[in-house]
Chains A and B, each alone.
Chain A
Amino acid sequence: MSRYFSFGRLWVLLVKEVIQMRRDRITFAMMLGMPLLQLILFGFAINTDPKALPAALVAPTQDRFTRAMVSALEMTGYYRFILPDATAEGAEELIARGDVAFVVTVPSDFGRRIERGDNAQILIEADATDPSVASGAISTLQTVASSALTRETGATGSSLPVEIVVHRRYNPEGITQYNIVPGLLGVILQMTMVMMTSMALTRENERGTMENLLAMPATPLEIMLGKILPYLGVGGVQVAVVLASAKVIFNVPFVGPLVVVLAGVFVFVLALVILGYLISTVARTQMQAMQLTFFFFLPSMLLSGFMFPYRGMPAWAQVLGEIFPLTHFLRLSRSVMLKGAGFSTVSGSFLALIVFALALALLALRRFRKTLD
């Protein structure tokens, strides 16, 4: 056997790790069950396209055109008129308080104008403090209105003189993305990979088995790979679970090439596992490893753009966000999955992730040498 590296020894270490993984049933269940559970929980709980949002209607003249519009809006499923006869002032207060998400104002001359063939306007004010709340409801408006009124007037053609004016209140830009599930992929991977790896190695230190391992002819590189590779495999299973359920349960659009996402996942998971390894060289107990993992986990979740829009953060926070691999992975996965970006478009994120993995690996190997002594 070679002095510095032997596949035989690495294989023995791998087998041992997998047996231990399998025997620790709770952890094993957690590794496989957690992605599914989180996905279903977050996937259903965090809804970027909420329906049946409370709305108020300001319509002084309740003629048949108004009623047609209102029922058409309700038919979309987005609007639930809790106050069908609000005054302008009352509605203003409701939306400011957040009791309604929309105020639909049909002017008193709406019906007359349509009958005369003049330009008619409907004003929809949306509470866009959370931009994702309003976007779905708004996007359907124009078609809904046209078809409703077409039926009502009996006119043919698309030249209906109705204009729907949308005010996205409180956040005129209203940038939203279909981003929860691709983001969750990154968050779930980060959670399990970093924690599991850091705990697995700290356990060896805590139980004193590391000393024994080092007294036998296993080299640092073999020990490190023996720890990292099994968890890389677990990460692969998690990715398959998340992507499959994203498709089957949530019907998340997947426009870009799968291979680019997978390549991104690979580099990302590699960086995470090595990070977990690095944590384990610092932490003395499994408890400390867990705490360090969360210390890393929380800011990266908050600053990466998973929870809050990245561009909404001040410049310094954006710089801070750049130091988390999750930030780059989110950009990559969202661009590819939702916008259909190819490899060349996301090469910057790739590069960043590769740099992370390499830098962490170097650091981890150096730390390991030190812990030998």
Chain B
Amino acid sequence: MTAPAIEVSNLTKQFGGKAVVNNVTLSVRKGEIMGFLGPNGSGKTTTIRLMCGLLEPDSGEGRVLGHDIRTERGAIKRKVGYMTQKFSFYEDLTIKENLDFVAGLYGLPKRREAVRETLEDLGLTSRKDQLAGSLSGGWKQRLALAACVMHKPDLLMLDEPTAGVDPKARREFWDEIHALAHGGLTVLVSTHYMDEAERCHRISYISYGHLIATGTVAEVVHNAGLTTMIITGPNTGEAEKRLRGADGVDQIAPFGATLHVVGRDGDRLRAAATRVAGETGNVVNPAETSLEDVFIQLMSAATDNMQ
């Protein structure tokens, strides 16, 4: 087995005395797509910055692509493509000028050719002299991705790349990510979207700086040990009211005409759901626990730990 692309342990980073990243240990295998999940402000961006050499950790250590994240940051920067959360290329430069700039900074040997090829791959050759700022959100994101992989990195770190992008563009973006991964590229991508998380080989969940769960989607769902019941019928509104705070019920979420009820203790949940469904004239059925249910659970658990 080859060495992992990312191998960090006990990473901690504080800002103003507050630990934004706390003892995070993470391992990403070569060629896999690792989803990095967590609520807003959970330390995802900081963790990514630590790993791509933008920040120095206060404690902990690790290697990215075989380079020490403390002492070999320059080498890491040359081999990693990092796509920031916000579009961070120059809006007052044209598409071609932006690509040319990036190619020059990485010192690509055949710069003009690389730029031309990237433009062609993007399908932007005819619009190459358009200012990057005039592109739509989806195109900006494609441009940013193309610029990040132009120097053929071994590892790609994407920080919420699809925020504000329409579903079709998102779908295409993920197809592109998978194509890159097939080519041997390792990808670490942070996201809020559950459907995106399900397209990753493995996921890691971080909350308040702590890494809480990691594994394949199925593993994470299974390890959460949650039971889910679906209540359907004419009176789900009344059922929701009665189930709030009921013994064994951790989450209630209406989905259209149905009600998802989730709990950590299967027996108690089933008992409560069956009882309430009977009282209100609804039907209850067991269901698959979704990744979203797991995350809601993880988030509330983490909040409880903090308080």
Contacts and interface: CB of A to CB of B under 8 A. Distances in A.
Interface string B90-116: 111100010001101111000000000
B84 A216 contact: no
A124 B104 CA distance: 72
B77 A208 contact: no
B92 A215 contact: no
B88 interface: yes
Nearest to A222: B105
Contacts of A16: 90, 93, 97, 101
Interface stretch (A1-9, A34-42, A263-271): A1-9
Contact of A23 (B78, B82, B92): B92
Contact of B102 (A3, A6, A19, A216): A216
Given A207-B88, A209-B90, A217-B74, A8 B54 contact: no
A208 B88 contact: yes
A206 B84 CA distance: 14
A89 interface: no
Contact of B104 (A8, A208, A372): A8
Contact of B93 (A8, A20, A214): A20
Given A215-B77, A217-B74, A12 B88 contact: no
A24 B80 CA distance: 32
A217 B77 contact: yes
Q: Chain A interface mostly helix, strand, loop or mixed?
A: helix
Interface string A1-31: 1010010110111011001100110000000
B55 interface: yes
Interface residues of B, number: 26
Interface in A195-243: 207-209, 211-218
B54 A211 contact: yes
Residue from the set A13, A15, A20, A212 with the largest chain B CB neighbour count within 10 Å: A212
Contacts of A115: none
Which secondary structure characterizes the binding site on chain B?
loop
Contacts of A15: 101, 104
A20 B88 contact: no
A373 B107 CA distance: 25
B198 to A, nearest CB: 28
Contacts of B80: 215
Contact of B90 (A12, A20, A214, A215): A20
B92 A12 contact: no
A31 to B, nearest CB: 16
A271 B52 CA distance: 34
Interface in B44-65: 52-56
A209 to B, nearest CB: 5
Contacts of A216: 77, 102, 105-106
Interface in B99-141: 101-102, 104-107
A6 B107 contact: yes
A287 B206 CA distance: 36
Nearest to B74: A3
Given A3-B74, A209-B89, A214 B54 contact: yes
A212 B84 contact: yes
Contacts of B86: 208
Given A13-B105, A16-B101, A217-B105, 6 more contacts: A12-B101, A212-B84, A214-B54, A215-B52, A215-B54, A218-B105
15 contacts: A9-B104, A9-B107, A16-B90, A23-B93, A208-B86, A209-B89, A212-B88, A212-B89, A214-B54, A215-B52, A215-B80, A216-B106, A372-B54, A373-B55, A373-B56
